[in-house]
Amino acid sequence: QVQLLQSGAEVKKPGASVKVSCKVSGSTLSQLSIHWVRQTPGKGLEWMGSFDPEVGEPLYPQQLRGRVTVTEDASTDTAYMDLSSLKSDDTGVYFCATDLFRGSFPLFDLWGQGTVVTVSS
C-alpha cells in the first residue's frame, strides 16, 4: 500500500533553514498531490504548501509565501519542504500528506509520520 516516509528530527538555530523530505512508496509522485502541514503549539495545524501534478506549480498560503519552498524529485519519488529564516515559533511537528481518494472534494487521507523541528539558539 502507499506510504509516506519522512526524514528524521532536526535542530536548527534561528535564521537557518530546514529541509524535510517525504518519500513515497507504493506509488509514484507523478500520481499524487503532496501537501505539507505543521503543528505548532501556538497555532495548531497550519497548511504550508502543496504540489499537485495536475496544477503543475506549487501553492503556498499568503502568510508563508517567500519563506517556504516545496519541491519534488521524481527520480526518487521524494518530496521536499524547505523553510528559511527560522524563528523559535517555527518549532513543531511537520507532516506531509496526500489525497489517495482523488474525488471531487480534496482531502488529506494519508499522512507521513511527522518530523520534529526544533529551533533554538
Partner 1 sequence: DIQMTQSPSSLSASVGDTVTITCRASQRINRYLNWYQHKPGNAPKLLIFATSSLERGVPSRFSGTGSGTDFTLTITTLRTEDFATYYCQQTYGTPPMFSFGQGTKLEIK
Binding site residues, partner 1, CB under 8 A: 35, 37, 39, 43-47, 50, 52, 55, 59, 61-63, 95, 97, 101, 103-109, 111-114
3-state secondary structure of 19: strand
* 35/81 with CB nearer partner 1: 35
Q: Is the Cβ–Cβ distance between 31 and 101 less than 8 Å?
A: no
In angstroms, give the least distance from the CB of 27 to partner 1.
18
Residue 16 or 43: the one with the smaller Cβ distance to partner 1 is 43
Least separation in angstroms between residue 16's CB and partner 1 is 26
DSSP H helical segments within the chain, as ranges?
Answer: none
Instruction: Rank residues 11 and 45 by Cβ distance to partner 1 and give the closer one.
Output: 45
Q: Determine how many CB atoms are found less than 10 A away from the CB of residue 72.
A: 19
DSSP 23-38: EEESS-GGG--EEEEE
Q: In whole angstroms, how close is the CB of 77 to partner 1 at the nearest point?
A: 19
**Closest distance between partner 1 and the C-beta of residue 64, in Å?**
11
**Which residues 6+ apart lie within 8 Å of 19 measured at CB?**
80, 81, 82
